[in-house]
Amino acid sequence: MIPGIVLSQTTIEGKVFYRDGATPAPFVNVEILNRPGTATMTNFKGDFSLRVGDSKKTDTILISSVGYTSIKLPLHIAAKRSAFVLNEIVKNLNGVTVFNSHEMVGSQSESVGFYRNWNHENSGGEIGRIFNLPHERFKIDKIRLKAGNTCDTCLLRLHIRYVEDGEPGEEIFTDSIGLLVNRLSLDSKVSEFDLTPYDFTFTEKTFFVGVEVLSCRNGKKGNCTFSFAGTEKGVYLYRNSNEEEAKWHATNPADDNYTIYLKLFLRF
């Protein structure tokens, strides 16, 4: 029997499958649109549990995974479904442009200089920077970041946004890109978002790259912290989830706080 989805004031639970409805879909993004911090991922069995607070009839749920067509449904309709099945995207390879030149842009220094704890208890916050590139068309294969994590696991989400009037705007990607970060030290290793399955061609020369901490888990071991690591001073943009309208703030270039290491691996 396939578990259904149960809607209450605080929690939604459901199950996601691939194609034939028999194969569970793990690590699939599940979120409520236009409600910052209301997002999660399915586990190894395809199950998810998502806190939404007091739901509204206008709420929309989005279920997405790389290489599959996203599911977007009104929340009250999704609540009546017994299963969610993702269909694979069929790509047309005619007229594909080949990108042979490689480039790395972003943070230059590899040694960690500054870092700041990020309040993962209030999910929905986001930090990043604006990139300006000279290329007319390019692909982003990977986006690397550095962090320190004393939690068992933290779930991060990547945002690549249009820039409107000097501030981050709407998402360029229609699907969410998630990354599960296990326990690590600031100087032990790096974490990367892999964008190669998207095979997406960018035409925006100016865009914003940001990272959001969706949630952190530490079992029964007590408190834990997640820290973004930075190596260079500069202007970074961030916003807090607990602020009204989630306004963007710009850092002082001389300030060590709210810095983040971001390196982009490109083809053009």
Residue 264 clears pLDDT 90, i.e. is over it: yes
Please tell me the predicted confidence (pLDDT) of residue 2: 47
Q: Which residue has the higher pLDDT, 167 or 55?
A: 167
Q: Which residue has the higher pLDDT, 119 or 17?
A: 17
Fold exhibited by the domain 102-267: Jelly Rolls (2.60.120)
Count of Cβ atoms closer than 10 Å to residue 141 Cβ: 17
Instruction: Give me the residues paired with residue 167 across strands.
Output: 164
How is residue 20 annotated by DSSP? Answer: T
Q: What's the mean pLDDT in 240-261?
A: 72
Q: What is the mean pLDDT of the chain?
A: 80
> Which range (53-57, 94-98, 161-165, 220-224) has the least confidence?
94-98
Q: Which residues lie below 8 Å from residue 257, measured CB to CB, with a gap of 6+?
A: 114, 116, 251
Query: Is residue 25 classed as helix, strand or coil in its secondary structure?
Result: coil
Instruction: Give me the residues paired with residue 102 across strands.
Output: 267
Residue 1 clears pLDDT 50, i.e. is over it: no
- 150 burial (CB, 10 Å; 0-12 / 13-18 / 19+) is middle
Nearest to 65 by CA among 30, 37, 19, 15: 30
Domain with CATH 2.60.40.1120 in the chain: 6-86
| Percent of the chain with pLDDT strictly greater than 70 | 81
Nearest to 2 by CA among 32, 46, 62: 46
Assign domain 6-86 to a CATH class.
mainly beta
Q: Which residue has the tokens 């986006």?
A: 143
Residue 9 clears pLDDT 50, i.e. is over it: yes
Domain with CATH 2.60.120 in the chain: 102-267
Provide the whole-model pTM.
0.70
